[in-house]
Amino acid sequence: MNKGIMLQEMLIVLIIIAFFSSLTLKQVKMESLSPYQPDSFMESQVLAMYKRKKVTASLVDSIHYNEYGNINQGATLVLNNHTLVFNLGFGRYHEK
């Protein structure tokens, strides 16, 4: 008697789980905070990783991304009544 799980059974279960999880995922849109675009920080980060060299953020001269996409220092910026907090590590920010 075979008491183990067969490969085909495992693949069928994984396909069913992937199908149902794709139905429940929502696409999250990033809000644009006029007149500046929050995507410009991400573009600077991606550019630094692509070129493998230090890049300065286009909107703020005090934020630099290294070749790994990390920022040089933590910062809190207030731009048009929006507070952006940059944490060390990933180089991403969140709005307070």
SS3 82: strand
How far apart, in whole angstroms, are the C-alpha atoms of residue 63 and residue 41?
9
Question: 23-81: per-residue pLDDT in tens?
Answer: 665 443 334 444 455 567 888 888 888 899 988 887 777 788 888 888 888 888 887 77
Beta bridge partners of 83: 78
pTM of the model: 0.53
* Sequence spans of domains, the chain: 41-95
Q: Which residues contact 26 (CB under 8 A, 6 or more apart)?
A: none
SS3 79: strand
